[in-house]
Amino acid sequence: MHKHKQTKHTISAEKLYEPEPKLYLVPTPIGNLDDITFRAVKILNTVDIILAEDTRTTSFLLKHYQIEKKLFSHHKFNEHSTVAQIAQYIAEGKSVALVSDAGTPGISDPGFLLVRTCIEHDIKVDCLPGATAFVPAAINSGLPCDRFVFEGFLPQKKGRLKRIEHLANEDRTMIFYESPFRLVKTLTQFAENFGNDRRACVSREISKMYEENFRGTLQELIAHYTDKPPKGEIVIVVAGK
């Protein structure tokens, strides 16, 4: 039986995914570990180092996909002091991937400062498409999502009420991230400023086993979560005025 002769045009799969010296922002699953792209796994397999918000969380993900790479911490407490060093590392010809604990880096997670520093130093940045919690939450809410405003986490103390008051006249659908421990307080503040009958949806544990999307008026949501204190990651979607 004759073997097929390999032509000079054949390129190995490994060569196709050899990373360039640049910063890769790699989205990671927000719950279900299958929610990661083939490209993301190949990038994580081939970069020189991976920057992780929490190395323990990322180690669990890498072990699941049998990826063995050097991990370094990059979080909100050290990013100001390390971005210049990381940019210099890439400028010297190395490839770096940045991941957060879950979702896309830079969306309510570390990433912005490093991206800005790389751009200022003419270093290439490549953000891969992937998991982001607010997108499925917005679509599952049943509220208009052709136009929306993403607010992320509200200030915990200073400026919180002022921000909520400012949003009272917002006519686009509004999306917020929130801790389960502050959910009822936040819904109550929304009701006081937006009205008890404003429609909203609370999405909890997106893509996980106990995913829940509870829809109703703010008053109904307050009653539900007062009776059944929530657990897990939470996205609140509120109808515009």
Residue spans of beta strands (DSSP E) within 58-147 = 70-73, 96-99, 125-127
User: Which whole number is the average pLDDT over 43-67?
Assistant: 95
Structure confidence at residue 238 (pLDDT): 98
Q: Give percent above pLDDT 90 in the chain.
A: 83
Using the 8-state DSSP alphabet, how is residue 238 labeled? E
Q: What is the largest CA-CA distance in the chain?
A: 79
Domains and CATH numbers, the chain: 13-127 (3.40.1010.10), 134-238 (3.30.950.10)
Q: What values do phi and psi take at 79, rounded to 5?
A: -65, -35
Neighbours of 207 (CB within 10 A): 17
Which among 100, 121, 103 is positioned nearest to 111, based on CA atoms? 100
Kindly report, residue by residue over 2-11, the tens digit of the pLDDT: 444 444 443 3
Determine the Cα–Cα distance for residues 55 and 58; give it in Å rounded to an integer.
Answer: 5
pLDDT at 35 over 50: yes
Determine the Cα–Cα distance for residues 73 and 79; give it in Å rounded to an integer.
Answer: 9
Structure confidence at residue 78 (pLDDT): 85
Using the 8-state DSSP alphabet, how is residue 5 labeled? P
Radius of gyration (Cα) for the chain, nearest Å? 21
User: Which whole number is the average pLDDT over 53-60?
Assistant: 94
Determine the Cα–Cα distance for residues 154 and 176; give it in Å rounded to an integer.
Answer: 7
Kindly report, residue by residue over 124-148, the tens digit of the pLDDT: 999 999 999 999 999 999 999 999 9
Kindly report, residue by residue over 187-237, the tens digit of the pLDDT: 999 999 999 999 999 999 999 999 999 999 999 999 999 999 999 999 999
Determine the Cα–Cα distance for residues 233 and 239; give it in Å rounded to an integer.
Answer: 20
User: Which whole number is the average pLDDT over 160-180?
Assistant: 96
Determine the Cα–Cα distance for residues 52 and 130; give it in Å rounded to an integer.
Answer: 17
Determine the Cα–Cα distance for residues 98 and 110; give it in Å rounded to an integer.
Answer: 9
Q: Helices 112-120 and 79-91 meet at what angle, rounded to 10?
A: 40
Q: What values do phi and psi take at 18, rounded to 5?
A: -70, 120
- HSE-up (13 A, CA, CB side) for residue 138: 20
Structure confidence at residue 85 (pLDDT): 94
Residue-wise DSSP of 92-111: TT--EEEE-SSB-TTSSSS-
What is the model's pTM? 0.87
Cβ atoms of 207 and 30 within 8 Å: the answer is yes
Structure confidence at residue 17 (pLDDT): 64
pLDDT class of 1 with cuts at 50, 70, 90: very low
